[in-house]
Structures are given as structure tokens and as C-alpha cells.
Amino acid sequence: MRYLVVSDLHSNWEALEAVLSDTHGEYDRIVCCGDLAGYGPDPNRVLDWSRESLFAVIRGNHDRACSGLENLEWFNPVAQAASAWTMSQLTPVNFDYLRELPPGPLTVDGFQLIHGSPLDEDEYLVSITDARNVFSYLEVNIAFFGHTHLQGGYAWLNGQFLSMGRIESFENSVSQRLDPDGAYLINPGSVGQPRDRDPRAAFALFDSDSREVMQRRIPYDYEATNRKIVAAGLPDVLGSRLATGR
């Protein structure tokens, strides 16, 4: 089965639309590692699509915040403002959909979806040290996670912990066939709010039969998203940082 793996959409329709256009015909199902909402200007459009199109999805911390399940005091002022605005915009059906999203880990076709880590959906895995502490808690040997907005990942292979290479600015994709004897924590990156200094929307394609994973980037019209953010009265930084991927 071929999967499109996405994460951290953050209400960015232009980025999501670019990913779907770029991958048309390359997958059978779409799965998501959470944070459908927050930050961006199109929460209902993204959530309408999510309800219709996602085969499997788990919640992220912004999904909890935008559906009243999280105390906004834990968020910085920009995230607080975006969450409060999103909550005011959601249709009842989308509000309920966000509120009912399950926490990870969620097992799908022999791999797992995680937002933060296997131990804590809000934990950030940003280094090999972080990852090596949680590998033993995986229920299967392949997991996709989000939350950091950093495309890449970690592997345990032949008794060693390794970082999986990131895509350089001059590249569009990197592919790897996963060793059946290894264990992997793979971050597809953020569709709607990349933070690895690459403004292109990030995602992954995974073939569960061949065990091949491709991490990929695609440019999108972030200026259009920025204009919507300004028009909505959201904090300007949410739009300006899209151009630099920060």
C-alpha cells in the first residue's frame, strides 16, 4: 500500500494544495501525524478536506488548543492569538472533529503515527539523544512523527543510532529502503509551517510493501497565504516567516 504521510498542516491551504497536486496518482491513502489547525488562515477548508480525505490521523497540541482541550496559557502569545482566532472561525462540525481526534501512537498497516514521541504527544524529538531514549517504546519498527516541523528522522541500525539525512535546498527528494532489522523514527516535515530554513512544503511517501520511504519538498504560493493571514488580522509573523521557513 502506498501512503502519503503529512504532518503539521496548520491551516495552510496553499501548501496542502501544492502537496496534493505534486503527488497526484502516487499514493493510495493519506495519513497525518497531527496539527491540522492553528497558525494559518484556512482552518475550515483544511479540516473539510481532512474529514473527507484522511485515512488515519492523530491529534497535535494545536488541535487540542483550537478545540478547547488545551489551556492556552501554555502557548506563546502568537500561538495563543492564532488558536483563539481559529476557535472563533471553526464550524461546529470541524470543532467537534478536532475535539474527537485520537492521541497517538496509532498503528496503521504495520507502522505508527506519533505527534511528539511514543511517550508524550508533546515531546520534541530534535536530536539523536532525544530519539535514542524512546526507540525502545515503539510498538513497531517504523514510526512517523511530527511536532518539530523539521524534516528528517532517526534510525537504529546494526547497533547504532543514526540521523537520517535532510533534503538540501538544491534537492527535491531523498529516498531510502528501510532495513527490516532496523527501527525508524521518520519526520515527514511540516506541510504548512516548515522551520528548517526551507520554505517549501514538506511531506513523505511510504510504500508499506517495499518499505521504501521518500521525503520530498515542493514550492507553494506562500505569499498568497501571507495575504490571507494579514487580511484575517492574525499576527504578521505567521505570514512573514513562511518565506524563510523559520
C-alpha cell, 162: 543514526
Average pLDDT over residues 85-104: 97
Tell whether pTM > 0.75.
Answer: yes
Confidence of residue 219 (pLDDT cuts 50, 70, 90): very high
Average pLDDT over residues 193-209: 97
Q: Name which of 30-44, 74-88, 97-111, 160-174 the model is least confident about.
A: 160-174
Residue 212 pLDDT > 80: yes
Amino acid 71: pLDDT: 80
Residue 166 pLDDT > 90: no
More confident call, 115 vs 246 = 115
Residue 80 pLDDT > 80: yes
Average pLDDT over residues 5-17: 98
Amino acid 164: pLDDT: 87
Average pLDDT over residues 186-202: 97
Amino acid 38: pLDDT: 95
Average pLDDT over residues 198-210: 97
Amino acid 231: pLDDT: 96
Confidence of residue 168 (pLDDT cuts 50, 70, 90): confident
Q: Name which of 19-23, 116-120, 123-127, 170-174 the model is least confident about.
A: 170-174
Average pLDDT over residues 193-204: 96
More confident call, 35 vs 76 = 35
Amino acid 205: pLDDT: 98
Amino acid 131: pLDDT: 93
Average pLDDT over residues 40-52: 98
Residue 84 pLDDT > 90: yes
Residue 74 pLDDT > 90: no
